[in-house]
């Protein structure tokens, strides 16, 4: 089945284009170790499963969920530490795109679709990912919530549609945030089962895919 009349494809980043578990969990754990050591904190390290389950949350919420009430005042230190370790990992080649991502982006560009990229992450991380994987060559527009105070996925997608004068857009993502923000903007939504969300995240999605290359059949 093909989705007709689409002129804009908007992607989430982590868990949709970027296989961030290859470095993100270790980056978070290393940043927490640094913080624990700096403040003589004795705490059990969050499990890899717990950290992975929170990838895709808005940045501030992600950091807050990793800290107990006693240490929430250290959010800025943790924020910086995680970004430091993520940057090191990305620039040392530990990150990767999901298989088929680049060929799918090339295909979409060849078919004349405009492509947007949005994320709940910080501006520094967003910029590093785009730079390391040279994503800007595929993108017509991109923005993350860390770029400006008060941004969220709903407002970012709304902005993309207005700026590019899109008549019909599709949002592709691996979390319920992506389905929710797409629906709020009247978009077709595609849930990525290969990412970090669970099938329950996609009860309202219009389509589900198990491999990003399936977009070539849908679009």
Domain positions in the chain: 8-19+96-218, 21-91
Please tell me which residue, 20 or 156, carries the higher pLDDT value: 156
Query: pLDDT of 65-85, one tens digit each?
Result: 888 888 889 989 998 999 999
pLDDT at 53: 84
The model's pTM is 0.92
Distance CA 172, CA 11 (A): 5
Provide the 3-class DSSP secondary structure of residue 190.
strand
Q: Does 215 score more than 70 pLDDT?
A: yes
- With 0-12 / 13-18 / 19 or more C-beta atoms within 10 angstroms meaning exposed / middle / buried, residue 102 is middle
pLDDT at 213: 98
* Contacting residues for 8 by C-beta, under 8 A, at least 6 apart: 113, 114, 115, 116, 140, 160, 161, 164, 166, 168, 169, 170
CATH code that applies to domain 8-19+96-218: 3.40.50.1000
Distance CA 126, CA 17 (A): 12
pLDDT at 65: 85
Distance CA 95, CA 10 (A): 21
Query: pLDDT of 12-69, one tens digit each?
Result: 999 999 998 889 889 999 999 999 999 998 888 888 888 888 887 887 888 888 888 8
Query: pLDDT of 94-153, one tens digit each?
Result: 999 999 999 999 999 999 999 999 999 999 999 999 999 999 999 999 999 999 988 999
Q: How many CB atoms lie within 10 A of CB 107?
A: 15
pLDDT at 216: 95
Distance CA 12, CA 124 (A): 16
């Amino acid at each position: 089945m093909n989705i007709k009349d689409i002129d804009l494809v908007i992607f989430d980043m982590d868990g949709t284009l970027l296989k961030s578990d290859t470095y993100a969990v270790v980056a978070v754990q290393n940043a927490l170790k640094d913080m624990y050591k700096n403040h003589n904190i004795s705490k059990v390290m969050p499990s890899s499963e717990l950290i992975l389950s929170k990838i895709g949350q808005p940045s501030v919420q992600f950091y807050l969920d990793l800290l107990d009430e006693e240490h929430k005042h250290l959010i800025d230190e943790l924020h910086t530490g995680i970004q430091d370790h993520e940057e090191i990992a990305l620039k040392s080649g530990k990150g990767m795109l999901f298989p088929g991502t680049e060929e799918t982006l090339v295909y979409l560009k060849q078919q004349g679709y405009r492509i947007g990229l949005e994320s709940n992450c910080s501006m520094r991380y967003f910029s590093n990912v785009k730079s390391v994987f040279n994503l800007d060559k595929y993108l017509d527009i991109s923005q993350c919530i860390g770029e400006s105070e008060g941004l969220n996925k709903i407002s970012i997608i709304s902005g993309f549609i207005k700026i590019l004068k899109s008549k019909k857009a599709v949002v592709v993502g691996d979390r319920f945030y992506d389905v929710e923000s797409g629906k709020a903007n009247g978009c077709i939504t595609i849930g990525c089962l290969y990412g970090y969300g669970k099938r329950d995240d996609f009860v309202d999605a219009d389509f589900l895919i198990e491999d990003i290359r399936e977009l070539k059949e849908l679009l």
